[in-house]
Amino acid sequence: MEAVNDVARVSHPLRFCLVTTFYPPYNFGGDGIYAHRLANGLASLGHDVTVAHSPTAYEALAGKAPDGGYDDHENVTVKPIHTPLGKLGLLAVQQTGRPCFQGPALKSALEHQNYDVIHYNNVSLLGGPHAFRLGTGLKLCTLIEHWLVCPMHVLWKFNREVCTKPSCLRCTLHGRRPPQVWRYTGLMRRATRHIDAFIGPSLFTMRMHRERGIRGTMVQLPLFHPEPPTPPAQTKPVNEGRPYFLFVGRLEKIKGVQTVIPTFKGMPDIDLLIAGSGTYEDELRRLADGAANIRFVGRVGHVELQALYRDAIAALVPSLCYETFGVVVAEAYSASTPVIVYAQSSVEEIVRENGGGLLYRTEEQLRDAIQRLCTDPSLKERLGREGRTAYDTEFAEQPFLANYLAVVDDLLQKKRAGRPEHAIPAIAESMLAGRQVLP
């Protein structure tokens, strides 16, 4: 893999251990992709990166081995941590919040060398919060999902609404998952004391975790989207040359596609392309039945996806759940394509802070945003420029790695100077400019 051009290689490489339940190709969504990008981005700069992950968790949930594969940089060492007893072993982790049967293998992976940094991702089925105790070095944890504070991981209550007031036991039973015993003990409080800093992809997500009891230093650092490949010249126009809006993502109820389909059925001269797959796809197809302007294109490769973004009038982000970060927004920004975002959670935060899109809360506001972008090319061009500027300064790989390593360097210096955990006063003043910190 290519090195990141504008981020200098280190003269003294650091030893990183990235701990994550899912890692490509044993991966379902954004948390595993982030882990892969982070590991390989650091490796391309000369750092040594070890990745500990759980193939057993993926195979148990997917019901099969993964298709295809992912390449890793030569500086990345992948250590699969298999769970004895399969689903029963995973149930033990889910119930106790501890690595249980795979504990010896995980402990060996984290303690076989003295890592400078141990970075935890979603470890819900790899070792639970107890894994935070293992190993030494600077310990970081990305708030990539809400798994630390929500047994359903997404703060989506009873499969119908965002969670504003926890009812965890009833919600877990409604979701047909076994209640997690460890959430009713002091394990979370004790385990998170071992984390030196939580990395929050958005201020919204940091506040959600703080409101639900997570303590400790939290540093805002958005996720990133590597510079996408340039799509080849089209021999056949995308969507046969007809203007279109684009949805990209998992086809699940929480992503909100069902809320925009009726709008487009009422606007038959404007097309909607839906890229992705998921368990809610059949219901969405039934809802769109008879609408010639709504087309499902399935899962597409990176090059084809970039072409879809590039030629779209705008990308739609109608998520009903509390997103920790809007990867689709960053992807659209990379193609200089505006976004139309349901005004909630981190995706609203991104647009309000960076521009590059329009916000809506009602169907009338959605229709107005669609019509404005269809009829005002100058608005589309301006929002596209704002989005690309935000991408270049905040959401591309180079600025992310520069910011990430600046945070790591700052925290390492303080830890090595003997500061106690979570006693890093006025850290925002010594951190890179613009980085938000909740002490």
In a domain, 168, yes or no: yes
Map residue 205 onto helix, strand or coil: helix
pLDDT in tens, 282-318: 999 999 999 999 999 999 988 899 999 999 999 999 9
One domain, residues 141 and 255: no
One domain, residues 122 and 200: yes
Tell me how far the alpha carbon of residue 175 is from its chain's centroid.
Answer: 22
The residues, any chain, with a CB within 8 Å of residue 159's CB and separated by 6 or more, are 174, 175, 253
Map residue 218 onto helix, strand or coil: strand
The per-residue pLDDT for 308 is 95
In a domain, 76, yes or no: yes
Number of separate domains in the chain:
2
pLDDT in tens, 53-97: 999 999 999 999 998 888 999 999 999 999 999 999 999 999 999
pLDDT band at 437 (very low <50, low <70, confident <90, very high): confident
Residue 329 confidence (pLDDT) above 60: yes
Residue 190 confidence (pLDDT) above 80: yes
Mean pLDDT of 363-375: 98
The per-residue pLDDT for 247 is 98
pLDDT band at 426 (very low <50, low <70, confident <90, very high): very low
Residue of 302, 300, 308 whose CA lies nearest to 271: 308
Which range has the worst mean pLDDT, 68-72, 171-175, 322-326, 362-366?
Answer: 68-72
Q: What is the mean pLDDT of the chain?
A: 92
pTM as predicted: 0.91
In a domain, 6, yes or no: no
The per-residue pLDDT for 429 is 41
**What percentage of the chain reaches a pLDDT higher than 90?**
85
- The residue type found at 366 is L
Task: Give dist(CA 139, CA 173) in Å, integer.
Answer: 33
One domain, residues 68 and 142: yes
**What percentage of the chain reaches a pLDDT higher than 70?**
93
Query: How many CB atoms are closer than 10 A to CB 205?
Result: 27
Mean pLDDT of 110-130: 95
pLDDT in tens, 21-55: 999 999 987 899 999 999 999 999 999 999 999 99
One domain, residues 388 and 409: no
Q: Which domain holds residue 52?
A: 15-224+405-430
The per-residue pLDDT for 260 is 98
Read off the CATH number of the domain in which 258 is found. 3.40.50.2000
Residue 106 confidence (pLDDT) above 90: yes
One domain, residues 208 and 262: no
Residue of 256, 283, 257 whose CA lies nearest to 272: 257
The per-residue pLDDT for 289 is 96
Residue 430 confidence (pLDDT) above 60: no
Residue 234 confidence (pLDDT) above 80: no
Which range has the worst mean pLDDT, 263-267, 388-392, 429-433?
Answer: 429-433
Which range has the worst mean pLDDT, 205-214, 272-281, 428-437?
Answer: 428-437
One domain, residues 311 and 340: yes
Task: Give dist(CA 333, CA 354) in Å, integer.
Answer: 10
One domain, residues 37 and 185: yes
For CA atoms 402, 404, 410, 412, the dihedral sign is negative
One domain, residues 385 and 409: no
The per-residue pLDDT for 169 is 94
In a domain, 436, yes or no: no
The per-residue pLDDT for 294 is 98
One domain, residues 376 and 281: yes
One domain, residues 374 and 423: no
One domain, residues 308 and 208: no
How far from 183 is each of 6, 147, 306, 368, 373, CA to CA, in Å?
44, 11, 41, 44, 47
Task: Give dist(CA 128, CA 122) in Å, integer.
Answer: 9
The per-residue pLDDT for 10 is 56
- Whether the link from the prior residue into 25 is cis, omega within 30° of 0, is yes
In a domain, 400, yes or no: no
One domain, residues 169 and 246: no
Residue 3 confidence (pLDDT) above 50: no
